[in-house]
Copies of this chain bind each other. A is one copy, B any other.
Amino acid sequence: MGENKKKKCIVHFEPSGLTTDVPAGTVLLEAAHKVGIYLSSICGGDGYCGKCKVIIDEGQFQSRPTTLLTPNEINENVVLACQTKILSNMTVTVPKSHALQAGQILMDTDAQRFRELTGEAGAGVFKFDPLVRKLCVEMSAPTVHDHTADHERLYVAIREQIDAPIMQTGFRILQGLSRLLCEANYKVAVTIGRRGGTTEVIEVEPGNRCKTNFAVAVDLGTTTVVAHLIDLANATTVDTEATYNSQIKFGEDYIRRIIYAEENNAFEEMQSHIVHDVNDLIVTLAARKRIDLQDITAVVCAGNTAMVHFLLNLDPTRIRREPYIASVGFMPPIRAAESGIQINKRGLLYCLPSVAAYVGSDIVAGVLATRLYTKKNLSLFVDIGTNGEVVLGNRDWLVCASSSAGPAFEGSGVKHGMRAGAGAIEKLTVCPDASIEFKTIGDTRPAGICGSGLLDTLAELFTKSIIDRTGRFKTDGDFRLTEGEEGQQFQLVPAGDGYQEIVITQTDINNLIRSKAGVFAAIRVLMASTQTKPEDLDAIYLAGGFGNFLNTKQAITIGMLPDVPLEKIRFVGNTSIAGAKTVLLSRKALETAEKIAKSMTYFDLMSHPGYMDEFIRANFLPHTDLSLFPTVKLATEKI
């Protein structure tokens, strides 16, 4: 074994032509990363996402058995790179189809579609004034008559360009400053970061590298982690990527993960997982755009309170215990490296502020991105993720609550549920002839169903009378209704060439109904507490990583949102990342986020007397009280 490990194997990748040598026994995924080839590994190399398929053209290898390869694929030497050890020199082909282009397209479309909401530069909502930026600083060299020290000379020159009354510079920079200024003839690129009222000199480089400066906005979801790479020189989103949160193996919701961490003293392990996910996204984005990690100087995160605590290894244990307290709500910027995030070694990590243990910075980001806090009339903001958070208010007041809805609409807890990535069914109709029409993200082979597809499915099954108002399958013999391992299930897509059968089970439906019921109950509590009637609502913003074609009508049909005129409902996509990006691009936006977080009044639903009753009533399609859903009543009566 010792001998074998010492043997070096040359691995040649096609079509890139890149080559590396690694010790025999090295996992193929690692060899690919080593040579700079990005293979998607959203499961973190654990062998269950099936994303890292490659073809071994030549050479010996050893693969663990997997159910994610078809017999055909196995015959063609297709392997999961993360489950395959290299035993000899080899040639490997990386299929184009396994890159995440489809997923990218979705994210980019997202970025375009919601631009007017997010206040990106040019939109005029917030002034372009990023948290971290590069300045081209030119100074006159010192003379006997101008003997200002180098450090103060630099400050004077910086202050000619920006407002920076309080400045700080890292000690290591100061130690090398004099030599650097001399060698660069007093012309340097200075990276500055804003930390509260303080402006920090993060990096000083010789010459003019002022245009090369990137940052990453991250949405830290319980189920999904999304990252956008931003070019700070022109405030554009150059690329996006998403992955599953690899903490998922410790529990689907964060409460279970906190319990796991407590019972196993695994806080560092939890941190290491989420940090790994974020790093994986950043490395992927950087590699794809051929950007040096040193040129990424900031990361801005939004996420629920627990995820932010896990990321920073702050104590999350009191989030789950009365009186439900966060360690930190307004996290000060720190060096990204302090948390393990690998960007520029002095780059900064910002986290948006949160409201409470159960209303995190992702929700503050949503309020910021939808600009709900600026409007005269009342709006409702609903973010469906692993939890369902609701905000109601206007420019005068904001109330919020969180229902532990469960991650059904993120595809978790649903047999064929998946993230809104390539191959996900994002739109689905049951036709009058009982055939099913659907559309997948990227128009590829169907791989599963994402949030918007699940919403469609639930609504279609209900309106086409395949399930009753309690969500149970009607047993009048639809040919698609079969008995699966988990009881009754409805076939949405039969197995085809290169893809499996896709079904929805009774359990799936129950989970989806419970999830929407939690959200609607939360909405009802907030509206009742503030004496808001549905007609008082000027707008409903529905956020979440659903997919592109969210049918807002269906959200009323299943009783997730109040029955308001459809034009009042806007699907706004992932507002957590939109808000994070807005903050990244404008200091003023961060200040605004802080004001929003401070001004939001939190309702604790667990201790709220009316919540449980509302939840039980909402566990029907659309609701026990049909008078709350007149348009749905009318439509179902028509059938």
A324-363 CB mask vs B (1 if < 8 Å, else 0) is: 1111111110100011000000000000001011000000
Give the shortest distance, in Å, between A79 (CB) and chain B (any CB).
Answer: 41
**Across the interface, do B147 and A324 meet the contact criterion of CB distance under 8 Å?**
yes
A607 within 8 A of B: yes
**Across the interface, do B177 and A327 meet the contact criterion of CB distance under 8 Å?**
yes
The contact of A175 among B195, B314, B356, by CB within 8 Å, is B314
Residue among A328, A602, A604 with max Cβ neighbours from chain B (10 Å): A328
**Across the interface, do B176 and A315 meet the contact criterion of CB distance under 8 Å?**
yes
A312 within 8 A of B: yes
A149 within 8 A of B: yes
**Across the interface, do A196 and B168 meet the contact criterion of CB distance under 8 Å?**
yes
A150 within 8 A of B: yes
A118-161 CB mask vs B (1 if < 8 Å, else 0) is: 00000000000000000000000011111111111000000000
* Extra 11 A-B pairs, beta carbons < 8 Å, given A148-B329, A171-B334: A149-B326, A149-B327, A150-B328, A151-B327, A166-B197, A166-B198, A168-B332, A178-B315, A178-B318, A179-B315, A198-B198
**Across the interface, do B196 and A325 meet the contact criterion of CB distance under 8 Å?**
no
* Measured CA separation A146–B329 after assembly (Å): 13
A91 neighbours in B (Cβ, 8 Å): none
- For the complex of A and B, list the 4 residue pairs with the smallest distance between their C-beta atoms, beginning with the closest: A149-B329, A178-B315, A149-B326, A178-B327
A197-216 CB mask vs B (1 if < 8 Å, else 0) is: 11000000000000000000
**Across the interface, do B198 and A151 meet the contact criterion of CB distance under 8 Å?**
no
A297-333 CB mask vs B (1 if < 8 Å, else 0) is: 0000000000000001111011000111111111110
Give the shortest distance, in Å, between A637 (CB) and chain B (any CB).
Answer: 44
A434 within 8 A of B: no
**Across the interface, do B323 and A144 meet the contact criterion of CB distance under 8 Å?**
yes
With A313-B175, A314-B175 already in contact, the answer to whether A330 and B168 are too (CB < 8 A) is: no
A487 within 8 A of B: no
With A147-B602, A328-B150 already in contact, the answer to whether A314 and B174 are too (CB < 8 A) is: yes
A77 within 8 A of B: no
A279 within 8 A of B: no
A166 neighbours in B (Cβ, 8 Å): 166, 196-198
A182 within 8 A of B: yes
Residue among A322, A327, A331 with max Cβ neighbours from chain B (10 Å): A327
The contact of A147 among B179, B196, B323, by CB within 8 Å, is B323
A324 neighbours in B (Cβ, 8 Å): 144, 147
* Measured CA separation A147–B602 after assembly (Å): 9
Identify 24 residue pairs between A and B in the complex whose beta-carbon atoms are under 8 Å apart, listed by A's number: A142-B325, A145-B323, A147-B324, A147-B602, A147-B604, A149-B325, A150-B328, A151-B330, A151-B331, A152-B329, A165-B197, A166-B196, A167-B332, A168-B196, A168-B198, A169-B332, A174-B312, A174-B331, A174-B332, A175-B314, A178-B314, A178-B317, A178-B318, A198-B198
**Across the interface, do B325 and A150 meet the contact criterion of CB distance under 8 Å?**
yes
Q: How large is the interface on A (under 10, 10 to 19, 20 to 34, 35 or more residues)?
A: 35 or more
* Measured CA separation A182–B325 after assembly (Å): 11
**Across the interface, do A327 and B143 meet the contact criterion of CB distance under 8 Å?**
no
The contact of A330 among B152, B313, B339, by CB within 8 Å, is B152
**Across the interface, do B329 and A142 meet the contact criterion of CB distance under 8 Å?**
no
* Measured CA separation A198–B145 after assembly (Å): 33
In the complex, residue of chain B having the shortest beta-carbon distance to the beta carbon of A324: B147
A178 neighbours in B (Cβ, 8 Å): 314-315, 317-318, 325, 327
In the complex, residue of chain B having the shortest beta-carbon distance to the beta carbon of A154: B328
Give the shortest distance, in Å, between A277 (CB) and chain B (any CB).
Answer: 20
**Across the interface, do B327 and A174 meet the contact criterion of CB distance under 8 Å?**
yes
* Measured CA separation A251–B269 after assembly (Å): 54
* Measured CA separation A602–B354 after assembly (Å): 52
**Across the interface, do A182 and B318 meet the contact criterion of CB distance under 8 Å?**
yes
Give the shortest distance, in Å, between A360 (CB) and chain B (any CB).
Answer: 11
With A143-B323, A144-B607, A322-B144 already in contact, the answer to whether A328 and B196 are too (CB < 8 A) is: no
Give the shortest distance, in Å, between A364 (CB) and chain B (any CB).
Answer: 13
A607 neighbours in B (Cβ, 8 Å): 144
* Measured CA separation A197–B330 after assembly (Å): 19
A363-385 CB mask vs B (1 if < 8 Å, else 0) is: 00000000000000000000000
In the complex, residue of chain B having the shortest beta-carbon distance to the beta carbon of A267: B175
**Across the interface, do A604 and B175 meet the contact criterion of CB distance under 8 Å?**
no
* Measured CA separation A58–B169 after assembly (Å): 56
A144 neighbours in B (Cβ, 8 Å): 322-324, 604, 607
**Across the interface, do A315 and B356 meet the contact criterion of CB distance under 8 Å?**
no
* Measured CA separation A177–B332 after assembly (Å): 14
In the complex, residue of chain B having the shortest beta-carbon distance to the beta carbon of A313: B175
The contact of A151 among B148, B176, B322, B328, by CB within 8 Å, is B328
In the complex, residue of chain B having the shortest beta-carbon distance to the beta carbon of A597: B152
A596-608 CB mask vs B (1 if < 8 Å, else 0) is: 0000001010010
In the complex, residue of chain B having the shortest beta-carbon distance to the beta carbon of A176: B315
A176 neighbours in B (Cβ, 8 Å): 315
* Measured CA separation A179–B43 after assembly (Å): 33
A314 neighbours in B (Cβ, 8 Å): 174-175, 178
